[in-house]
Amino acid sequence: MIKKLRKAVLPVAGLGTRFLPATKAIAKEMLPVVDKPLIQYAVDEARAAGIEQFCLVTGRGKTSLVEHFDIAYELEATLKQRGKHKELQELREHHLPPGAVVTVRQQEPLGLGHAIWCARAFIDEDPFAILLPDDLVLADVPCTKQLADVYAQTGGCVVAVTEVPREHTSRYGILDIGRDDGRLVEVRGLVEKPKPEVAPSNLSIIGRYVLLPDVVEHLARMERGAGGEVQLTDAMAKLIGKVPFHGLRYEGRRFDCGDKVGFLEAQIAFALKRPDMAPAVRAFLKDYCAPDA
Ligand code: UTP
């Protein structure tokens, strides 16, 4: 029997060193793309896939992320008083039901695998999605929904994958693949950050996963992998051959918002999708790109 997917873990305990000094006092995941913080995009995407329960894995200095999911009564009252109904409605659309968000602490950023292990009591015996909020996907069908639809058919583990230039394989978790129908690939192996000359393919995992709870027992061993961190990829690799394991070439465009250029690109791409902003953005981009600019 394939258990319904209802839970998501959102690891947000990283240090965000690539965004210092912006991330000295605020969480990277609170940085906005246009007018919405990264964490909100991730939660909205998960909800669109039918997820009902959320676990934020937080760390020191990440309080604002949790507060973001509180109801801001004074603010809402003021908006109402001032007749700002559109703004009020937007805030309310993001309310989550009471008890839908829990947080756990990762006291030291020992790696993504360790962050997921910190959520073990929340995961319990259920399948769960993972969304890394700094990976943002612009798609007609939200990326997590695409994964959830495949999971409902295949069960097991499903990860979102994309081709990367071979010279960049050492930045990502890379798949060794079996059967491939052009969209769905059978995962035969996983390697974290392999050098291009030994990478089994150039198909990389992005920050969207649907996993079975079995992965937790492998994380519990706390084996250190690439970069001395407890790697999620290494624990996932232990499930291959034991449960169905697929990679999905998702439809959509992914932006690595943990990287400055990726973050900037996301601002432009998301602004160009907004009818209220697109004409002005297109006009200034044209100016900046003019040969004599
Ligand atoms: P990154 O690899 O982007 O690390 O983490 P980072 O610390 O956030 O950023 P840089 O590289 O220092 O600039 C990917 C995701 O995993 C979470 C991060 O919060 C981010 O959402 N993470 C990473 C944890 O929660 N704990 C960790 O120990 C590591």
Q: Please give the distance, rounded to the nearest whole angstrom, from the Cα atom of residue 146 to the centre of ligand 1.
A: 24
**Mean pLDDT, to the nearest integer, of 232-238?**
94
What is the model's pTM? 0.95
Which has the closest alpha carbon to 8: 29, 39, 30, 33? 39
Question: For a pLDDT cut of 70, what percent of the chain falls above it?
Answer: 99
Give the chain's mean pLDDT: 94
Asked whether the beta carbons of 130 and 207 are under 8 A apart, the reply is: yes
- In this prediction, residue 227 has a pLDDT band, given cuts at 50, 70 and 90, of confident
pLDDT at site 37:
96
Check pLDDT > 80 for residue 291: no
Which value, in Å, is the radius of gyration of the alpha carbons in the chain?
A: 20
Mapping DSSP onto H, E and C, the string for 27-64 reads CHHHCEECCEEHHHHHHHHHHHCCCCEEEEEECCCCHH
What span, in angstroms and rounded, lies between the C-alpha atoms of 31 and 271?
Answer: 15
Q: Is 14 in the pocket of ligand 1 (CB under 6 A)?
A: yes
Check pLDDT > 80 for residue 290: yes
pLDDT at site 124:
97
Asked whether the beta carbons of 241 and 119 are under 8 A apart, the reply is: no
- Give the nearest ligand 1 atom to 28 CA: 8
- Give the nearest ligand 1 atom to 229 CA: 28
Six token digits for residue 259: 């990287």
**Mean pLDDT, to the nearest integer, of 188-215?**
95
Q: Is 62 in the pocket of ligand 1 (CB under 6 A)?
A: no
Helices (H), 94-206: 112-117, 120-123, 143-154
Residue 133 or residue 225, greater confidence: 133
- In this prediction, residue 63 has a pLDDT band, given cuts at 50, 70 and 90, of confident
Q: Please give the distance, rounded to the nearest whole angstrom, from the Cα atom of residue 14 to the centre of ligand 1.
A: 4
Calculate the alpha carbon distances from 50 to 36, 148, 211 in Å. Answer: 21, 9, 15
pLDDT at site 183:
95
Within 13 A of 112's CA, how many CA atoms are on the CB side? 25
Span 74-86, pLDDT tens digits: 999 999 999 999 9
Check pLDDT > 80 for residue 1: yes
- In this prediction, residue 93 has a pLDDT band, given cuts at 50, 70 and 90, of confident
pLDDT at site 293:
61
Check pLDDT > 90 for residue 232: yes
Check pLDDT > 70 for residue 164: yes
CB neighbour list of residue 203: distance below 8 Å, 6 or more residues apart:
161, 162, 163, 164, 174, 175, 177, 185, 247
- In this prediction, residue 3 has a pLDDT band, given cuts at 50, 70 and 90, of very high
- In this prediction, residue 25 has a pLDDT band, given cuts at 50, 70 and 90, of confident
Q: Please, what are the domains in the chain?
A: 7-258 (3.90.550.10), 260-293 (no CATH)
Q: Is 10 in the pocket of ligand 1 (CB under 6 A)?
A: no
What span, in angstroms and rounded, lies between the C-alpha atoms of 62 and 134?
Answer: 15
Asked whether the beta carbons of 57 and 104 are under 8 A apart, the reply is: yes
Q: Is 13 in the pocket of ligand 1 (CB under 6 A)?
A: yes
Span 37-61, pLDDT tens digits: 999 999 999 999 999 999 999 998 8
pLDDT at site 21:
93
Q: Please give the distance, rounded to the nearest whole angstrom, from the Cα atom of residue 259 to the centre of ligand 1.
A: 11
CB neighbour list of residue 9: distance below 8 Å, 6 or more residues apart:
54, 55, 57, 116, 119, 122, 123, 128, 129, 130, 131
**Mean pLDDT, to the nearest integer, of 23-33?**
93
- In this prediction, residue 194 has a pLDDT band, given cuts at 50, 70 and 90, of very high
**Mean pLDDT, to the nearest integer, of 6-11?**
98
What span, in angstroms and rounded, lies between the C-alpha atoms of 95 and 44?
Answer: 10
Residue listed under structure tokens 């509180």: 70
* DSSP-assigned states of every residue in 185-237: EEEEEEEES--TTT-S-SEEEEEEEEE-TTHHHHHTT--B-GGGSB-HHHHHH
Which has the closest alpha carbon to 121: 51, 42, 207, 213? 213
Note if the bond before 21 is cis, omega within 30 degrees: yes
What span, in angstroms and rounded, lies between the C-alpha atoms of 116 and 250?
Answer: 23
What span, in angstroms and rounded, lies between the C-alpha atoms of 93 and 101?
Answer: 16
